[in-house]
A and B are shown apart, each in its own frame.
Chain A
Amino acid sequence: MFRAILFTQWKWARLPLLLGIVAAFGLPLVVVQPLPSLFAEDAGASLAIEFMASFGPMFPLLATLLGLILAVSAWAADHAGHHVYALSLPLPRWQLVLYRLGSGLTLLALPLLALWFGALLATSIIDLPAGVRAYPSLLGLRFALATLVAFALFFSISAGTTRTAGVVLGTIVGMLLAQWALALVDSDVNLLGTLFDVLFVWPGPLDIFSGRWMLIDV
């Protein structure tokens, strides 16, 4: 059963997944390209680290996209058929959800490994000056955790009903409208800032996405 479900998810997600694998493998290679010329300058190390920091947000962005695509593709075909086929198969609902989750995680392993290999390759082809170090495995691990968090989040929303998705979307729109209304009356209350802090600052559940994403650092 797991193999059958894994196959369908591969079939539904294979194109964006292949693009994701290429992007994950290529991103570390792209970001290290200018480093040899930067290291040749006097303040090369600090310039290189600044350059790395400016590219950092690309990693959590890619992790979010991968999690989103895999999660949505896991349920899209069932949503289209109003879940009639899935629910008429002889297995408990929780088991079907676990199989779909497991299939998604299995497929996600491909871009995660691609990024790790890409990072290892990228850091092996440049000579680092004294005081600068490469962190390919740490970056790969952090990327993996961020992708899993994104996948779990979008999977739980996507597995739910249209009403669930509507509640989530409605909450976000409600927050934006409330913030806009507060701004109109010159209030100091910062709803969005508070929400961001709650979600993205430790111990917030999305803390993994924030901070510096560095392949090369001191």
Chain B
Amino acid sequence: MSFAIETRDLGYRAGKTFELRDLNLRVPRGAIYGYLGPNGSGKTTTIRLLLGLLRPGAGAITVLGHAIPAEVPRALARTGYVPERPHLYPSLTVEESLRYHAAFFPGWDQRWADELLSRFGLARTVLLSRLSKGETGKLLLLQALAQSPELLVLDEPTDGLDPVVRREVLTALLDYVAQRDATVFISSHLVHELERICDWVGVMDRGRLVAEMPMQSFKNGIKRLRVRGAPALLGDTPFVVLARHFVEGQAETWIVRGWQAPMTQYFEGIGARVQEVIDLDLEEGFVELLSTARTAPRGEG
């Protein structure tokens, strides 16, 4: 498998309170990779490191085969970026902003830019400072898409947008990916949104990558089990026990990762019984994963 983005033991320290450490990301080419994490977990910092906006303190970064930060311009020429906060020049009109942006990207697709302009209902003569939040979000995505990138890096692109605009933005994104077979790296704390569109997921918490796997494994592999009669101490398990909750007089609740149906036999072996296996949606799995990562000693996860 080849990777559009790869980091090895990436480290970065910002002040005394935040540190990104030992980050090993692998974003497969052609994937829509959801980068999940609570606010302040290091998602935006990671993205800024990937794009050469920040210099790493340790480790190595490769984006589309280019070493970062040494070959940043070559990587950026093939990458569309939508930042967390609008970064365009507010004193330009929509038309001027598009012309300015197009000047830097040889692969600029003016026809598609025009099509997206009309699809998004953006007026060419309006100043960027007069655009609503939703219109700004659409323009940012339009600019990123019209440069025909092989990789799209989107930092909370739909944060604060209303559901209608969010749908328009995500539809345009998925259309692009379907047509061009591009890789998308999208960060968000809106778990449900990513669940619908992503095929890979990475979960960040407090500057650490606590999980990275195909979305299907994430959704299928994390279960809530109701268990009776299990001993307090467990030996080796065929799955990962993320959490055990005891409630006096009731069945225990286990949160497990890597679950498969035949594993119920394991419980027979330890004299226990599985009463119920409950699928967790991505948000529940995400929350359980984070709470487990936070209770685990540093270095695990």
Contact = CB atoms under 8 A, between A and B. Distances in A.
A137 B151 CA distance: 55
B81 A77 contact: no
A77 B87 CA distance: 9
A4 B91 CA distance: 14
Contacts of B89: 8, 77, 81, 85
Contact of B77 (A1, A4, A8, A90): A90
B74 interface: yes
Given A4-B99, A4-B100, A90-B74, A85 B92 contact: no
Main secondary structure of the interface of A (DSSP, over half): helix
Contact of A87 (B52, B85, B90): B52
B104 interface: yes
Contacts of A88: 51, 53, 76, 81, 83, 87
A8 B101 CA distance: 11
Interface string A1-16: 1011001100110000
A88 B105 CA distance: 12
B73 interface: yes
Contacts of B53: 84, 87-88
B104 A84 contact: no
B88 interface: yes
B76 A81 contact: no
A11 B87 contact: no
Interface in A41-79: 77
A91 B73 contact: yes
B283 to A, nearest CB: 30
A204 to B, nearest CB: 37
Given A87-B53, A88-B53, A90-B105, A8 B83 contact: no
A8 B100 contact: yes
A7 B73 contact: no
Interface in A87-130: 87-92
A90 B64 CA distance: 14
A1 B89 CA distance: 16
A91 B104 contact: yes
Contact of B92 (A11, A81, A91): A11
Contacts of B85: 84
Contact of B104 (A7, A77, A89): A89
B47 to A, nearest CB: 10
A85 to B, nearest CB: 4
Contacts of A81: 87-89
A81 B83 CA distance: 11
B105 A11 contact: no
Nearest to B155: A84
A88 to B, nearest CB: 5
A10 to B, nearest CB: 11
Contacts of A4: 99-100, 103-104
Contacts of B77: 90
Interface string B40-74: 00000000000111000000000000000000111
23 contacts: A1-B104, A4-B100, A4-B103, A4-B104, A8-B89, A8-B92, A8-B96, A11-B92, A12-B91, A77-B90, A77-B91, A81-B87, A84-B85, A84-B87, A87-B53, A88-B51, A88-B83, A89-B76, A90-B74, A90-B75, A90-B77, A91-B73, A91-B104
Interface of A: 1, 3-4, 7-8, 11-12, 77, 80-82, 84-85, 87-92
Given A1-B104, A3-B103, A7-B96, 6 more contacts: A7-B99, A7-B100, A77-B90, A84-B53, A84-B87, A89-B76
